[in-house]
Amino acid sequence: MGYRWNMAGVLVEPASMRFLIIFFLSISLVQAQKPNVILIYVDDLGYGDLGSYGSKTIKTPHMDRLAKQGLRFTQAYSTSATCTPSRYSLLTGTYAVRRKDTGIATGDASALILPGQQTIASIFSKAGYQSAVIGKWHLGLGPQGGPNWNGKIAQGPLDIGFTEAFILPATGDRVPCVYVENDRVVGLDANDPIQVSYTTKIGIMPTGKENPELLRMKHSHGHDQSIVNGVGRIGYMQGGTAALWKDEDIAQRLTDRAKSFIGRNQRKPFFLYFATHDIHVPRLPHAKFLGKSGHGNRGDALLQLDDSVGQLMKTLDSLELTKNTIVILTSDNGPVVDDGYLDQSKELLGDHRPAAGLKGGKYSSFEAGTRVPFIVSWPAKIKQGTSHALLSQIDFVSSMAALVGQKVDQNQAKDSDNQLAAWIGQSKEGRTYVIEQAGSLAIRQGDWKYISPSKGAAVNAFVNIELGNNPADQLYNLSHDPAEKMNLAHENPTKVQELKLQLRAIMEK
């Protein structure tokens, strides 16, 4: 007497039945409570570009709301001062500098992360998350020899753990200027196949070099190959006319796609890697934003970016997902004003200070190259405030794995530590050191920063940025000298030696 059928069709006594019910209930509660994660990975956003990081002239209310409802970090770093290596490290948890082929990728590069390799997406997927990448990819696609633009593109985001992808293959200024959805170019006409070359001119599309009169936005350096939508790009392409993106629509197209992903997955846990094209060049914001910042196209692109973030937040609000969604907003590298197009950003910069007084910028080993805004919002768990913990994006993989209870294969995520407690404000301590990759390799440990010797140019005259390359050792004390003006290497040979050895030991790991 008293025995019942359980859900699996097995006869059990009432006490065990109660236990089973509680067990299944708690499992489903845990399921229900799994937080969603949105990583907003902005392109080329500087430490001083947001109101919440000191910008006075360009208004960024939505990103500031994120900062206000969450934690704003002051000492957080991307791993590199350019895009491809930062993204590689972010997604894999291994410093890109360990590989020779992770410099800025061309638009026809083959996949840098191979099928089956562990990534943050594969970890989220294992934890039962839907995971999408929407936006800029720039990590190569396809097997050796590059992707097949006219068929199924093998070796893409779907092969490394993402359940859905809607991407720009490389950057806005690199051909092919088309979207890829999952593993196919969107809107491609089979009778007008795409060809791409990064070595020789192909096809009949005019180039910026030969036909500058056809350009609606002139380049200041580079960007004089195929003209797409009146803008010179890097690389040559032919065909794919029906599939070409419209630069002015990119932000909204990506935002709409992200909103739809959130809407479709509102009842499942999801991970959204939202990698904006803004505020990278070419900066061609929608007419709604053009001329609105008073600071040229870079400022206008910031307004557009803020609007995209606002739309995502509104979507979360309306679906009542805000509370249990972790939103992280950060950047792949520091700021650059003229990155190759004459778009009035330099002329109208005015008092805006994209790097907030830090030295250098994009491409640089100095602080502005990699110290970036970093905001984490999670209303259900995180107290508002500011954290000075030392953070690196290299820890995204291990920290998020810890969040969702997944094991990390440390052989594959060699450099990633679990820093979840610091990321969600439960600890004031972050890492003891960070590695910064640019023309030379730097290490920051506490307040000390050591930049290893490099023979590269000291200044990139095109972008007007001090790169931090120096044939001699450089040592700075960031608490006394945040702008890295005084090289203290001579006076502190012991510190130089200590950091040099530490850097070597980490790289030999």
Report the interface residues with ligand NG6, using CB under 6 A.
Answer: 43-44, 82-83, 104, 138, 171, 173, 221-223, 234, 280-281, 333, 339-340
Pairing of strands 385-387, 71-73: parallel
Given the complex with ligand NG6, which of 223 and 257 has the nearer CB atom?
223
Given the complex with ligand NG6, which of 223 and 295 has the nearer CB atom?
223
User: Which of 50, 71, 83, 272 is the binder for Ca ion (CB under 5 A)?
Assistant: 83
Q: Would you count residue 332 as binding Ca ion (CB under 5 A)?
A: yes
User: Residue count at the site for Ca ion (CB under 5 A)?
Assistant: 5
Under 8 Å between Cβ of 427 and 395: no
Under 8 Å between Cβ of 499 and 436: no
CA distances for 260 relative to 35, 160, 254, 268, 312, angstroms: 18, 22, 10, 14, 10
Residue 103, φ and ψ in degrees, nearest 5: -70, -175
CB of 438 to Ca ion, least distance (A): 12
Stretch that binds Ca ion, among 75-83, 242-250, 284-292, 301-309 (CB under 5 A): 75-83
CB of 337 to ligand NG6, least distance (A): 12
- Which of the listed partners (Ca ion, ligand NG6, none) does 339 bind, with a CB threshold of 5 to 8 Å by partner kind? ligand NG6
- Which of the listed partners (Ca ion, ligand NG6, none) does 70 bind, with a CB threshold of 5 to 8 Å by partner kind? none
First to last CA, the chain: 64
CB of 359 to ligand NG6, least distance (A): 19
- Which of the listed partners (Ca ion, ligand NG6, none) does 222 bind, with a CB threshold of 5 to 8 Å by partner kind? ligand NG6
DSSP SS3 for 166: strand
Size of the chain in residues: 509
Given the complex with ligand NG6, which of 461 and 505 has the nearer CB atom?
461
- Which of the listed partners (ligand NG6, Ca ion, none) does 164 bind, with a CB threshold of 5 to 8 Å by partner kind? none
Q: How far apart are CA 249 and CA 288, in angstroms?
A: 11
- Binding to Ca ion by CB under 5 A, coded x per residue (else -) over 8-47, reads -----------------------------------xx---
Q: How far apart are CA 277 and CA 284, in angstroms?
A: 10
Strand ranges inside 199-269, DSSP E:
227-228, 231-232, 236-238
CA distances for 503 relative to 66, 125, 208, 347, 429, angstroms: 35, 34, 43, 40, 21
- Which of the listed partners (Ca ion, ligand NG6, none) does 171 bind, with a CB threshold of 5 to 8 Å by partner kind? ligand NG6
Given the complex with Ca ion, which of 333 and 416 has the nearer CB atom?
333
Pairing of strands 231-232, 184-185: unpaired
CB of 481 to ligand NG6, least distance (A): 28
Q: Would you count residue 333 as binding Ca ion (CB under 5 A)?
A: yes
- Which of the listed partners (ligand NG6, Ca ion, none) does 367 bind, with a CB threshold of 5 to 8 Å by partner kind? none
Token digits for 258? Answer: 């992200």
Given the complex with ligand NG6, which of 160 and 231 has the nearer CB atom?
231
CB of 44 to ligand NG6, least distance (A): 5
Pairing of strands 180-181, 184-185: antiparallel
Q: How far apart are CA 89 and CA 93, in angstroms?
A: 5
Nearest-10 Cα torsion for 328, 156, 127, 434: -40
- Which of the listed partners (Ca ion, ligand NG6, none) does 340 bind, with a CB threshold of 5 to 8 Å by partner kind? ligand NG6
CB of 108 to ligand NG6, least distance (A): 15
Site of interaction with Ca ion (CB under 5 A): 43-44, 83, 332-333
